[in-house]
Amino acid sequence: MNGFSNVVLVDHPLVQHKLTLLRKKDQPTTDFRRLVSEVALLLAYEVTRDLPLETVEIETPLERMTAPILAGKKLCFVSILRAGNGILDGMLDLVPSARVGHIGLYRDPQTLVPVEYYLKLPDDIGERLAVVVDPMLATGHSAAAAISRLKQAGARKIRFVCLLAAPEGVEVLAEHHPDVEIFTASVDRQLDSHGYIRPGLGDAGDRLFGTK
């Protein structure tokens, strides 16, 4: 149990192993980026576990059969720019037919309040499961703001996926969006005074793109 009713903790051994490698401060950018993509693919298995199925008739090399296939409109992955793109790539490896949306938010360094600068979503977002992706759920304000904008655009079924979460961020997201499940590999100890997750893994965006 993780202590949070809105959190699905993905504790698969491979996820936990790769997360430990991600945390190491001397992990090179190339390896960090690859590991994020690998963990994202594994997280995608969990967040899509209950997608609806229908049956179709197909022909195998030996005979005809009725077999399951995904039903109706499928997914939309929504990346919170810029770091969300690191998770997006791994998930698209698993579900290449998914639609993709982007929302640009930056955190005001003084107030820590998110400011939106970009939004592009599929027109039929309301007919799809919207999976919002961002490596870190820290204060929770950016995630809450992104999900509010998705709901304004018509999204009705939303899930949030991150590598790491802080208890403070989980609580903020639950307060603003109690209907949204959080899928994560770990809920870490706390936020520090600068809004970073402890013990965490540093700034995921900088480590993904080698900008620091």
Position 2 scores a pLDDT of 61
Residue 89 catalytic?
A: no
φ, ψ of residue 40 in degrees (nearest 5): -60, -40
pLDDT tens digits, one per residue of 67-82: 999 887 689 999 998 8
Position 203 scores a pLDDT of 85
d(CA 205, CA 212): 9
pTM: 0.91
Question: Which of 198, 124, 205, 132 has the alpha carbon at shortest distance from 167?
Answer: 198
* Residue 141 annotated as binding site: yes
User: Of the residues 108, 206, 207, 211, which is catalytic?
Assistant: 206
Question: Which domains are seen in the chain, by residue range?
Answer: 7-52+69-209 (3.40.50.2020)
User: Of the residues 93, 107, 128, 207, which is catalytic?
Assistant: 107
Q: How many CA atoms lie within 13 A of 29 on its CB side?
A: 9
Position 1 scores a pLDDT of 47
- Contact at 8 Å (CB) between 25 and 202? yes
Residue 206 catalytic?
A: yes
In a 10 Å sphere around its CB, with 0-12 CB exposed, 13-18 middle and 19+ buried, how is residue 38 labelled?
middle
Position 205 scores a pLDDT of 81
* Residue 204 annotated as binding site: yes
Residue 23 catalytic?
A: no
Position 40 scores a pLDDT of 95
Question: Which of 179, 184, 122 has the alpha carbon at shortest distance from 147?
Answer: 179
* Residue 135 annotated as binding site: yes
* Residue 137 annotated as binding site: yes
* Residue 103 annotated as binding site: no
* Average pLDDT taken over every residue of the chain: 91
pLDDT tens digits, one per residue of 13-53: 999 999 999 999 999 999 999 999 999 999 999 999 989 89
* Residue 182 annotated as binding site: no
User: Of the residues 23, 89, 149, 203, which is catalytic?
Assistant: 203
Encode the chain (212 residues) as per-residue pLDDT tens digits.
Answer: 466 889 999 999 999 999 999 999 999 999 999 999 999 999 999 999 989 899 999 999 999 999 999 887 689 999 998 888 989 989 999 998 899 999 998 777 777 677 888 999 999 999 999 999 999 999 898 899 999 999 999 999 999 999 999 999 999 999 999 999 999 999 999 999 888 999 999 888 888 888 86
